[in-house]
């Protein structure tokens, strides 16, 4: 062997025998322009070489740890009370990472299906909203769509400052919510920094957004897993059939023959409706990032199984809370009015399931029964939806306990002759009716005994709601806004709509839908 060959071999051998040195890495959630949640422990985590010493420095704190045998590491910064910035987050191992332009403030997750996904550029008054979106202390983070059969630990995204360019493709409800918080919360003379995480996918069911194992121990929810097990077992045959149909469709198109609609791809392991897929791909990567709470707008896809949603939705919230280890605030939007092609009461029942979920602690519901559009499942006025969600947060979390944040909520009724007189909470100044003679949609209904519900008329007498129906002498039950697309006529004195309600417990039309 020549001296040259020997020298070359000796130089290469260390590269072959020594383990490669891995740089310290952070998840995408830690990027320039991020927001760190104030007043709570802040996890910082990542990967490195096994046993590598990691030093994390931020806001006059320095924490040292070592990566485990699997290369994973995590530290928790102690709660930071002073808001603002900008700060630099430094993480040092064999290499140094510097995350710049970091603010300390309030962080919220914005999630759900298309009405939360609906972009600022798609919403009402989009041109003016976009032009005015110059808020350097509002920071935006968009999670890419990922229906994953396996749990992901990271995503490809980054934080951005809120500008007309960055806001146009952000959740319109999420942005409005964050903007109203930013404009109303202050630290000293400065507005509160707000971080918003948009993790949304249109047309998706709640079961896709939660760990599938949380469906397995409940008799109401296991049919969801059973249905999907059947789908996955039949996928190979369905895929073969689809590929043949697709080839035939393409052949006809090439020959200029009317081929009809493109064949629909069969449901499979990577479909966005599969239980757990969006949890694994779009929520799991966020754990254990520190944030104040979550806002949610979803339910349309589950409306045909509205009664089941009364079990499914709170279980989903509980699964999120279990992942983070705390009962963080969770607010949602009750479905707006919409003229569906379903049974005309399926959406009313879904709304009831949403209202029932308020039994969980630290929850709240924004009512939007008055701002929907009969023929458009996506109401354009996302600004007001975000404002109503922000009212809940301001009242519950940010020291404005006397703020009027929700409209009248039905509590009980008494019968006065042939009329029903209803009592409400959240109506200290009374209720008011906003009637439109040109609107023929149903609002109030009464029933007597086991009889059918019939349309009823309402009026305010001595500050209370009095409802009567022609032909009923002794009504025993009342309903309000109990159809998919009702007339919203009942409000509090500040214009917040009453929650749709019923006093009866008759079986739902969706009671057997699983």
pLDDT at 7 > cutoff 90: no
Three-state secondary structure call for residue 508: coil
Q: The tokens 């919203």 sit on which residue?
A: 488
Residue 134 is given by DSSP the state -
* Residue 458, in any domain of the structure: yes
Asked whether residue 511 is assigned to any structural domain, the reply reads no
Of the candidates 196, 155, 159, 198, the one whose C-alpha atom is nearest the C-alpha of residue 27 is 155
259 neighbors 253 (Cβ within 8 angstroms): yes
Contact 232, 178 (CB under 8 A): no
pLDDT at residue 386, rounded to an integer: 99
DSSP H helices, 82-215, are: 114-117, 126-131, 164-167, 172-184
Cis peptide before 180 (omega within 30 of 0): no
**What is the extent of the structural domain holding 260?**
212-275
How far apart CA 129 and CA 106 sit, in angstroms, is 22
Last residue of a domain, one of 249, 275, 301: 275
Q: Number of C-alpha atoms within 13 angstroms, CB side, residue 147?
A: 16
Residue 452 lies in a domain: yes
Number of domains in the chain: 2
pLDDT, mean of residues 104-126: 98
- C-alpha distances out from residue 173 to 109, 309, 499, Å: 12, 22, 20
In a domain, 463, yes or no: yes
Do the Cβ atoms of 38 and 105 come closer than 8 Å? yes
Residue finishing a domain among 248, 275, 302: 275
**What is the per-residue burial (b if ≥16 Cβ within 10 Å, else e) of 389-404?**
bbbbbbbbbbeeeebb
What percent of the chain shows pLDDT beyond 70? 96
pLDDT band at 11; cut points 50, 70, 90: very low
Residue 81 has pLDDT above 80, yes or no: yes
Kindly state the average pLDDT of the residues 372-401. Answer: 97
Tens-place pLDDT, residues 354-369: 999 999 999 999 999 9
Q: How many CB atoms lie within 10 A of CB 188?
A: 8
Q: Which phi and psi angles does 402 have, rounded to 5°?
A: -95, 0
Dist. CA 265–CA 242, nearest whole Å: 6
Give the end of a domain, one of 224, 248, 275.
275
Question: Does the pLDDT of residue 193 top 60, yes or no?
Answer: yes
Q: Which residue has the tokens 């600004």?
A: 383
Residue 252 within a domain: yes
On whether residue 196 sits in a domain, the answer given is no
Give the number of other Cβ atoms within 10 Å of residue 250's Cβ: 13
Q: What are phi and psi of 430, to 5 degrees?
A: 95, 175
Whether residue 443 is contained in a domain is answered as yes
Structure confidence at residue 181 (pLDDT): 98
As given in the structure block, the two tokens for residue 240 are: 């073969």
pLDDT tens digits, residue range 464-502?
A: 999 999 999 999 999 999 999 999 999 999 999 999 999
Residue 217 domain-assigned (yes or no): yes
In the prediction, which pLDDT does 9 show? 42
Say if CB 26 and CB 97 are below 8 A apart: yes
Give 33 or 257, the one with higher predicted confidence: 33
Average pLDDT of the residues of the chain: 95
d(CA 327, CA 91): 30
Q: What is the largest CA-CA distance in the chain?
A: 113
C-alpha triplet 355, 357, 359: angle, nearest 5°: 105
* Pairwise CA distance, residues 219 & 194, whole Å: 40
The values of phi and psi at residue 377, to 5°, are: -70, -10
**38 CB-contact burial (10 Å; exposed 0-12 / middle 13-18 / buried 19+):** buried
What is d(CA 135, CA 158) in angstroms, rounded to the nearest whole number? 17
Q: Give the Å distances, CA to CA, from 462 to 421, 445, 501.
A: 11, 21, 22
């Amino acid at each position: 062997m020549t001296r040259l060959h020997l020298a070359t071999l000796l130089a290469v051998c260390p590269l072959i025998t020594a383990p490669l040195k891995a740089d310290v890495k952070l998840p995408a959630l830690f990027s320039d322009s991020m927001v760190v949640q104030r007043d709570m422990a802040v996890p910082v985590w990542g990967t490195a070489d096994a046993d590598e010493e990691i030093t994390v420095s931020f806001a006059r704190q320095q924490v040292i740890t070592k990566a485990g045998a699997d290369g994973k590491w995590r530290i928790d910064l102690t709660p930071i009370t002073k808001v603002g910035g900008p700060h630099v987050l430094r993480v040092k191992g064999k290499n140094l990472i510097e995350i710049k332009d970091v603010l300390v403030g309030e962080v919220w997750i914005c999630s759900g299906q298309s009405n939360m996904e609906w972009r600022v550029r798609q919403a009402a008054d989009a041109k003016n909203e976009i032009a005015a979106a110059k808020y350097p202390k509002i920071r935006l983070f968009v999670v890419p769509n990922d229906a994953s059969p396996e749990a992901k630990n990271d995503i490809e995204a980054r934080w951005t400052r809120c500008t007309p360019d960055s806001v146009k493709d952000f959740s319109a409800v999420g942005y409005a919510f964050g903007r109203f918080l930013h404009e109303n919360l202050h630290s000293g003379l400065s507005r509160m920094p707000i971080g918003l995480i948009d993790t949304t996918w249109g047309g998706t069911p709640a079961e896709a957004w939660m760990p599938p194992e949380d469906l397995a121990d409940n008799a109401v929810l296991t049919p969801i897993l059973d249905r999907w097990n059947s789908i996955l077992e039949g996928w190979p045959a369905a895929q073969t059939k689809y590929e043949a149909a697709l080839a035939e469709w393409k052949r006809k198109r090439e020959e200029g023959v009317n081929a009809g609609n493109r064949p629909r791809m069969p449901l499979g392991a990577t479909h966005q409706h599969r239980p757990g897929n969006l949890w694994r791909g779009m929520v799991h990567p966020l754990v254990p990032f520190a944030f104040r709470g979550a806002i949610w707008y979803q339910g349309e896809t589950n409306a045909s199984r509205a009664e089941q949603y009364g079990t499914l939705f709170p279980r989903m919230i509980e699964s999120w809370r279990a992942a983070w280890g705390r009962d963080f605030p969770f607010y949602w939007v009750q479905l707006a009015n919409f003229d569906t092609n379903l049974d005309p009461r399926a959406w009313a029942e879904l709304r009831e399931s949403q209202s029932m979920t308020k039994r969980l602690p630290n929850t709240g519901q924004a009512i939007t029964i008055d701002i929907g559009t009969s023929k458009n499942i996506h109401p354009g006025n996302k600004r007001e939806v975000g404002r109503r969600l922000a009212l809940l947060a301001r009242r519950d979390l940010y020291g404005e306990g006397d703020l009027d944040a929700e409209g009248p909520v039905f509590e009980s009724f008494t019968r006065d002759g042939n009329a029903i007189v209803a009592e409400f909470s959240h109506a200290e100044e009374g209720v008011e009716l906003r009637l439109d003679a040109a609107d023929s949609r149903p609002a109030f209904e009464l029933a007597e005994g086991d009889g059918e519900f019939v349309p009823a008329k309402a009026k305010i007498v001595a500050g209370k709601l009095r409802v009567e129906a022609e032909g009923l002498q002794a009504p025993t039950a009342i309903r309000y806004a109990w159809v998919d697309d009702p007339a919203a006529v009942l409000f509090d004195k500040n214009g917040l709509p009453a929650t749709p309600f019923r006093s009866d417990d008759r079986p739902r039309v969706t009671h057997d839908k699983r």
